[in-house]
Each structure stands twice: as structure tokens, then as C-alpha cells.
Amino acid sequence: MTMGNKRSSIGLQLAIMGASIAVFLGAISLVGGGFDDRNTRFWATVLSILFAHIVWFNVPIWMVATDARKKDAFPFQFTAITFCNLYAAGVVFLALAVVFSDISSGWVLVLNMGLLLGLVLSLGAFSVTNRAIEKMDADEKRVKAPAVELNLKIGAIRDRAAMCTAEGFGAALTAIDAVAEAMHFGTAESLAGSEAVDAEVDQHFKSIEMALVALDEAEGQEAEAVLVQKIVTVSQAAQRVIARREAVMKTLR
């Protein structure tokens, strides 16, 4: 959403909120007996409704301002809307109770404060939980990132190797397939202390990739045979490093 669209959307929400509050106050003034000689119960109810209006309308304004729909935090904002809707519904229900019952001013104040406290505690508790979950998700992605990158790299190498038409390339393709299988069934994460072995695996993948590039440009069967043998040798070395990587992972757990 562009800045202009954001401003228009926020302005529209504010206009609707202002109109809604104006209609509410006008209804009290015209058909609700006005504001003169009112007791604490009345003012507590009116102020709680006005506050609920502001809360209820400002949540979508906040979501527009922060581009909530484009972010991972959208579930939190959606839940915040739910809590605010429940708070607003509670305020309306309490206002009806004030109109149709003889509930005392003290109870009106206590119940309104209870609703507000419930809203604050609900949003606070969910915010803390949401932050903890986001941190866990970020840590999990960070841990898995190197292993995912290695799997993507060997997958790209495998796809490139499958298109190679050099004579005698079957042995090299078999060796690359074995490497890809070893990575696929290996540990799908990296741990603190595995950086060196991950870098070693990556270096072997780069060597295989460079050999494939050279093979595409090679002239003559002898040059191709040398490069094919190099790919086989490096692939076998990569398998050994991957096996060592698995041993390292077991010691780090």
C-alpha cells in the first residue's frame, strides 16, 4: 500500500470514528435526556463507550499504518482485533445492563475497569507469547539456513549435471546423485560449531560446479575424461565430508 493510500485509508477511518462518536453523543443529547444532572453511573458508561469506540476504530488504523497484511505479525494483529471486539461487546453489554437494571455506580466502575484490565492483560500476554514464538521461529530458520542452502546448491548442481552430454559422464552423474542423496537424508540444520565442516562441504560443491562449467567448454574426449574423473573424485570427497558432518552434528547435540 502506497503512502497516499495509507493516508486516505487512515483519514477515512478517523472520519468514520468521528462521525460515529458524534452520532452517539447527539443521540444522548436529543433522545437520551441530555447530559444535565447525570450521576456517576451515567458518566462511567458514556466514557467507557467513547473509549471503546476509540479502541475499536484505532486497531484497523494501526494495521493500515503498519502494513500488517504484508507481515508475519498479522496473526497477532488479527488476535488484537478479536480482543478489542470482545472488549467493545462487553462495554455495550454493560451499557445495556445500566439502562435496564438498577446496577450501582460502584459496580459500573468496577466492571468497566475489569473489562479494560482484561483487554490490557490479554493483549500483553498474547504479545509476550507472540514475541517468544517469533524468536523461536527466527532461531529455527537461522539454524536451518546453512543446511537448506547446501541442499539447494547440490540440487542445482544435480539439475545441471543431468543436462551434461559428455561421453562417459554417467559415473560423474552417479557420484553427484550420491552426494545429493547424502545431503537430503543428512541433518537438516546447522549447529554452533559446525561452521567449518559446512564451509568444507560448500567448497566441494563449488569445485564440482566449476568442473561442470569447465566440462561444458572442454574440447576433446581426453579433456572431458579428465574433468569427469575430477567430478567423481570431488564428489566422493564431498560424501566423506558429509559423513563427517553427520558425526560432528551428533557430538554437538
For the chain, 253 residues long, give each residue's pLDDT as a single digit of tens: 566 666 776 677 778 778 877 887 777 777 666 677 777 888 888 888 888 888 887 776 666 666 655 556 566 677 878 888 899 899 989 888 888 888 888 888 899 899 999 988 988 888 788 788 878 877 777 777 888 888 899 999 999 998 888 888 899 999 999 999 998 888 877 777 788 888 999 999 999 999 999 988 888 888 889 999 999 999 999 999 999 988 888 887 7
For the chain, what's the residue count?
Answer: 253
From 41, 176, 161, 191, select the one nearest 103 (Cα to Cα).
41
Return the pLDDT at 69: 57
Grid coordinates representing 90 are 462487553
User: Residues near 241 by Cβ (< 8 Å), separated by ≥ 6?
Assistant: 197, 200, 201, 204
Residue with cell 572431458: 224
pLDDT, position 31: 65
Question: Can you tell me the distance from the alpha carbon of 154 to that of 183, in angstroms, rounded to the nearest whole number?
Answer: 8
pLDDT confidence of residue 121: 92
CA distance 161 to 227: 13
Are 91 and 52 spatial neighbours (Cβ–Cβ below 8 Å)?
yes
Q: How far is CA 213 from CA 162, 164, 208, 218, 253, in A?
A: 13, 10, 9, 9, 38
Q: Write the DSSP assignment of 151-205 as a string of letters.
A: HHHHHHHHHHHHT---TTTHHHHHHHHHHHHHHHTS-SS--TT-HHHHHHHHHHH
Q: What does the pLDDT read at residue 29?
A: 72
Q: What are the backbone angles phi and psi of residue 10, rounded to the nearest 5°?
A: -65, -40
pLDDT of residue 240: 93
Copy the grid coordinates of residue 159: 539439475
Largest alpha-carbon pair distance within the chain? 105
DSSP letters along 108-151, please?
HHHHHHHHHHHHHHHHHHHHHHHHHHHHHHHHHHHHHHHHHHHH
Sequence spans of domains, the chain: 3-103, 143-252
